[in-house]
Amino acid sequence: MPNPFRDRLTGPPILADGGMGTLLYQRGIPFERSFDELNLSAGKIVLAVHQDYLRSGAELIETNTFGANRIRLAGFGHETKVREINYYGAKLAREAREIEGKPAFIAGSIGPLGKALMPIGDVSSDEAVAAFAEQAEGLLEGGVDVFIVETMASTAEVRAAVIAIRRITDLPIMTQMSFTESGATFVGETPQNAIAALNELPVDVIGVNCAIGPQMMADVLRVFAEMSNQPLSAMPNAGLPRMVDGRFMYPSAPVYFASFIPTFVALGVKIIGGCCGTTPEHIRAMAGALGQLTEPHSACEKSAQPSSTWILPVEPAEPPSYGLIDVAAQFAEQSAFAVQLGKTFLISIELDPPKGTNPKKIIEGARLFKRHGVDAVNVADSPMARVRMSATAAAAMITREVGIEPILHVTCRDRNLMGLQSDLIGAHALGIRHVLAITGDPPSVGDFPGASGVYDVDSIGLVKILARLNAGEDFAGSSIGAPTAFTIGVACNPTADDVAREIDRLQRKIDAGAHFAFTQPLYELEPLQQFFDRLGGKPIPIFLGLLPLMSYRHARFLHNEVPGITIPESHLLAMEKAGEHGAEVGVKLSKELLAEAQHLVDGVYLMPSFGRYETCLEVVKDLLVTRAVEQQRLPAFSIG
């Protein structure tokens, strides 16, 4: 399955972040405290560090989980919190990425156990693998994009960590050894010994971090480059530390640090960052140096290039055009989505607006989908009652910058009857033509449980409002001038506990003026068939909702903790058996259901987990290739 990180390794160097511990220490956290536990007790501090590095230009940020294994955590009395600390470490990094709105990779940091393996120490290989697996499972559940096994002195310990990770996932793995001034690791392994062992492991990147500064690290990397064809990484310290007035200080200034960028690039280093003593200022200086050596590049821009194994670009990428254009005039006629509704099998993929003000990630995501031939993108309205950028603003930017048609989610939770109508009229003026009318999650489940839920109307009432606007009048019957041209979508749940009530509500939505419906995520065909039978057919076009499973833990969470989602026992067993290939099996299950259901439904609506857009594209790749061939946009070829 295509992987954006692996694809990105073929491009210019990736800039990673700098020291986490350094900044936590600078911000008043003493070394005597567990830095990893801060993910639970002081998440805002950790979040701010991630944000600072993203703002400095980092394209890869590491989770604050370096020592979050049961052996190290036992020293602080937190050995029972391994899963929580790692899960929230990944979650905080993802949240920072969403707030900043920048496409960046989340690397799950795994450091040494803190005790040596046999025969030097008393930790057996099985115990080491179990400890690393426990940590990796928490990081995987939290949604990391890549694992980084770092600051290792022993290749045997690296091997144990890699074995543990590979038992649960096929996500990319980076490995980094640490060498002292003597030229060997703390347990005496030379670069030559280390690289010989690392070359045998199923990893994507090998490299060096910590302990030494950039000059000595370059010497070690020369050995690595001579003895391996693997992509390399370099994350040196800011020189050797010294104690000044009770605080550790590192001598290497940002300018000096950045001066080694050409050296690292010449050695073939693909991931460049910093370790102890490095700060956002160091990363910013390195970003400037990399900018002079390479063309501007981002994770999403690279992943947006279609894989030659299955889809070729159907049109050139469109550069951003931030000037004002007459989007209302552009969409004066009925949209392509509305014209094709019920006639062509349509594909839409969901995008969540950012938690902050930067829309870059969703804009590039929309551009990625358009380039691959997706018909529309759903723009969610603060899902799970968590504060995000206005869905209307995000949809308008997507319309303006990308040209793909957005389906705007509108909830009844946050606006009264007057506000709903005002926002819908404004959305129409901005060129938005498709609305999914939903009631919305209550505030009690989100960031502001004490906030008031408005709910002047429910989703049925919202459909009536939209139908009135399409008739040229507001809900009170007053003229709004020219009528709107909204295509009205609604939600339905074939697996609802009370299917009779669900069918009744869907029929009332249709009677109110709904044009199409999206199902909740489904994982088997039978409930959908039974739903249609009880509904008496398919009165409006209906889209199959798919949310590809990423792992067994992900499947269990959705089944047990997310309302409206039911996962059959067969799928749970398949995901448990899949182990490291969970994401691959999850995509396979979604593809199989889509193939079974395609003759029953009018389209598919995909929801990516953890922002992994490539999984959704993988589910529909056969449809997109077939469509492109039929439209004579590329020659027929074997997908293989």
Same domain assignment for residues 340 and 487: yes
Residue 225 lies in a domain: yes
Residue 320 lies in a domain: no
Nearest to 428 by CA among 331, 325, 322, 324: 331
Confidence of residue 478 (pLDDT cuts 50, 70, 90): confident
Q: What is the pLDDT of residue 301?
A: 38
**The residue type at 276:** C
Mean pLDDT of the chain: 86
Quickly list DSSP for 484-538: P-PEEEEEE-TT-SSHHHHHHHHHHHHHHT--EEEEEE-S-SHHHHHHHHHHTS-
Same domain assignment for residues 272 and 355: no
Nearest to 491 by CA among 562, 568, 411, 426: 411
Flag the least confident range among 440-449, 458-467, 613-622, 630-639: 630-639
Residue 140 lies in a domain: yes
Residue 310 lies in a domain: no
Confidence of residue 300 (pLDDT cuts 50, 70, 90): very low
Confidence of residue 350 (pLDDT cuts 50, 70, 90): very high
Residue 304 lies in a domain: no
> How far is C-alpha 575 from the geometric centre of its chain's CA atoms?
20
C-alpha neighbours within 13 Å on the C-beta side of residue 507: 12
* Total count of residues recorded for the chain: 640
Percentage of the chain surpassing pLDDT 90? Answer: 62
- Tens of pLDDT, residues 134-150: 999 999 999 999 999 99
Instruction: Identify the domain containing residue 506 by its residue range.
Output: 327-549+585-630
- Tens of pLDDT, residues 40-89: 999 999 999 999 999 999 999 999 999 999 999 999 999 999 999 999 99
Same domain assignment for residues 349 and 289: no
Residue 111 lies in a domain: yes
If one counts the domains in the chain, the total is 2
Same domain assignment for residues 334 and 280: no
Same domain assignment for residues 274 and 351: no
Residue 563 lies in a domain: no
What does pTM read for this prediction?
0.73
Confidence of residue 486 (pLDDT cuts 50, 70, 90): very high
Average pLDDT over residues 228-247: 74
